[in-house]
Amino acid sequence: MPPTLTTAAPAVAAPFRARGPVSAAVLQHLVDGTATAHTALADAAVVASVDIERDDDLQLALFTLYASAYGSIEALRADLEWDPSLIATRRVIEDAFERSLRRSVVVLTLPEPTADAVARALFSLTGAEGGPSLSRFLARKATVDQAREFLVHRTVYTLREADPHSWAIPRLSGRPKAALVEIQSDEYGGGRPDRVHAALFARAVRGAGLDDVYGTYIDDVPAVTLASLNTMSMFGLNRRLLGAIVGHLAAFEMTSSIPNRLYSEGLRRLGYGDDVCEYFDEHVEADAVHEQIAGRDLAGALAEDRPDLLADIVFGAAACLEVDDRVGRHMLDAWSRGESSLRQVAGR
């Protein structure tokens, strides 16, 4: 039996609450250091879940386990990052989550594994007309309350912007590695701390009268929002899914420039100034450049170098579009009913 860890408990509590037995057991272990039966609970919950992609308990548990690897939540004990039982629980949930995504995400015919063919296929995929547009709604119709809800949903990823994709850097080489580093250098401000995109978004959050401390709004967002970040984290943290995280980033960059212009227009329509809109303005020009690099030099070059990853590159791109579209549909559906898109949590 391994020795009992004696590291002191953190001085702060987790900034969010459990949503069921699995997330409760994971939080208890990661915050208090008390070993619990979370792996057995996860096994049972996966079997019982009607839809793991929208399961609040399992998505929050997976988010918490990934947050331990990122170091994004102070309350989660650093000495437990590689605890074997926590890793086992993560594998149970993420394996089921990946299987579900591979069933629910439609992947079109694969292109030839050349940079040009892959880039053309990704531009075609990301340029296809989808359903109702969240960015157009924000630009033309959203209220101040709805715009603030939109920002709350975005805090889950954007206050940690670029981190999930950076896991791929040490796993790439040659052209794809150089392309990813070029993109990420911009994301991290090109050496200027005040230009780090996550810092620009934190400024936007503060300007809208919201809290920019990471994790503040986890209780408020539904499973579908957690699943969006969990998809990135799963692709990024698992070396076998290298193709998927590259495809995800390519689709992410290819669908960023125009929506961000519309988000900025909508926020200015509602009276917000540069402190809120600068983040979105920054992405209009930057991501117009990034989409070319991501499509050809990153995803396309990786497909040429590693044809065995082609299927996952396309899957990762399709998963990005589908999972993020679900978040947008959730917001629009709630607002069309005159409801909030956020969870109603007692005591908040």
Check residue 5 and give its pLDDT: 39
Q: How is residue 159 annotated by DSSP?
A: T
Which DSSP string corresponds to 300-344?
IHHHHH-GGGHHHHHHHHHHHHHHHHHHHHHHHHHHHTT--SS--
Confidence label for 4 from pLDDT (cuts 50, 70 and 90): very low
Q: Taking residues 80-89, report their average pLDDT.
A: 98
Given a cut of 70, whether residue 342 has pLDDT beyond it is yes
Report how far residue 135's alpha carbon sits from residue 5's, in angstroms, rounded to the nearest whole number.
Answer: 48
Task: Identify which has the larger pLDDT, 7 or 267.
Answer: 267
Report how far residue 85's alpha carbon sits from residue 67's, in angstroms, rounded to the nearest whole number.
Answer: 16
pTM confidence score: 0.94
Q: What is the pLDDT of residues 102-118, one digit of tens each?
A: 999 999 899 999 999 99
Check residue 7 and give its pLDDT: 44
Confidence label for 132 from pLDDT (cuts 50, 70 and 90): confident
Q: What is the pLDDT of residues 14-71, one digit of tens each?
A: 999 999 999 999 999 999 999 999 999 999 999 999 999 999 999 999 999 999 999 9
Check residue 108 and give its pLDDT: 83
Given a cut of 50, whether residue 1 has pLDDT beyond it is no
The sign of the CA dihedral 32, 34, 35, 38 is negative
Check residue 2 and give its pLDDT: 40
Lowest mean pLDDT among 14-23, 122-131, 217-226, 313-322: 122-131
Report how far residue 253's alpha carbon sits from residue 153's, in angstroms, rounded to the nearest whole number.
Answer: 19
Per-residue tokens: 235: 């692709």
Spatial contact of 256 and 175, defined as CB atoms under 8 Å apart: no
Given a cut of 70, whether residue 332 has pLDDT beyond it is yes
Check residue 66 and give its pLDDT: 98
List Cβ neighbours of 140 (8 Å cut-off, separation of 6 or more): 266, 269
H or E element at residue 254: helix 242-254
Check residue 286 and give its pLDDT: 72
Spatial contact of 162 and 198, defined as CB atoms under 8 Å apart: yes
Give the 3-state secondary structure of residue 133.
coil
Percent helix, strand, coil in the chain (nearest 5)?
70, 0, 30
Given a cut of 60, whether residue 150 has pLDDT beyond it is yes
The sign of the CA dihedral 255, 256, 261, 262 is positive
Task: Identify which has the larger pLDDT, 285 or 257.
Answer: 257
Q: What is the pLDDT of residues 262-292, one digit of tens each?
A: 999 999 999 999 999 999 999 987 767 888 9
